[in-house]
Amino acid sequence: MQRASTTLQTTPITRIEPSKGWVSLQLRELWAYRELLFFLIWRDVKVRYKQTVLGAAWAIIQPVFSMIVFTLIFGRLAKLPSDGIAYEAFSITALVPWALFANALSQGSNSLVGNANLIKKVYFPRLTVPISTVLGGLVDFAIAFVVMFGMLLWFGITPSIRMLALPLFIMLVLITGLGVSLWLAALNVQFRDIRYVIPFMAQLWQYGSPVAYSSSLIPQEWRWLYGLNPMVGVIDGFRWSMLGTGQISWSSMLPSVGIALFLLFTGALYFRRIEKQFADMV
């Protein structure tokens, strides 16, 4: 879109001209705007906690209530196997990262439309909008994580050295969530239909991920196909590092990581390509 170069480190020169085809991601400029990124996250979190009566409690209520419902239906009634541990502990370790992903999916994809007034009035790298929304989910995640950790201790599951690998899996949820939101946020500006697809999509995606059931139910020869859903890698990783169950199945983890990175990269490129139309369309 625009090329900015610095001469003698004093006067930045900006060339404004129509862009053609695919454009660069401008990561350096994004870095220069990191303070804005911080303020957008801070605004979203602050406003959410100010506007809602229960505030931070929502971060806990959502996964905990899902856990109770899942435990009653899938654990007690359907008696789904849970890798030999309490179904409560089994499901909450999936529901907490899932909540982070679901937040990215719904908030992230509406982020551009929701910030239309900014986009029409000020220039800043547009990528900051979905990125801040997705990273903002980390605050809720941290709260839910503490609750999950307490529950696991209650169920007699003590942390092992494997927990050190958890940040990698948190990165994987963020990459997946951001990749999908970049695609959806850009598409949502052009086609407002997207907004109606998202709740439906989130629900289907959850069935396709080992939230209520264990991925050990999937036959070994189909694991690679199953792993094309990056949330499979995330949830398997969470269970592996928090519960200490099973082994990491590389046949599903590798495709998960690959697809997550692919989604992020193509999402960012597509977003940048469509970006120039945002101010005219939102």
- Residues that bind other proteins in the complex, under the rule CB under 8 A: 1-2, 11-19, 21, 35-36, 38-40, 42-43, 46-47, 50-51, 117-124, 187, 190-191, 273-274, 276-277, 279-281
> What CA–CA distances, in Å, run from 114 to 19, 107, 108, 194?
25, 9, 10, 14
Q: How far is the CB of 200 from other proteins (least distance, A)?
A: 17
Nearer to other proteins, 99 or 274 (CB): 274
| Nearest Cα to Cα of residue 242 among 157, 144, 139, 168 | 157
Q: How far is the CB of 40 from other proteins (least distance, A)?
A: 8
The full length of the chain comes to: 282
Judged by DSSP in three states, 218 sits in coil
Q: How many whole angstroms separate alpha carbon 56 and alpha carbon 60? A: 8
- Residue 1 · residue 124 · CB < 8 Å: no
Nearer to other proteins, 35 or 221 (CB): 35
Nearer to other proteins, 38 or 250 (CB): 38
Nearer to other proteins, 124 or 155 (CB): 124
> Which residues on adjacent β-strands are paired with residue 11?
7
Nearer to other proteins, 132 or 229 (CB): 132
Q: How far is the CB of 30 from other proteins (least distance, A)?
A: 14
Q: How far is the CB of 11 from other proteins (least distance, A)?
A: 5
Q: How far is the CB of 275 from other proteins (least distance, A)?
A: 9
The sign one gets for the Cα dihedral 31, 144, 61, 87 is positive
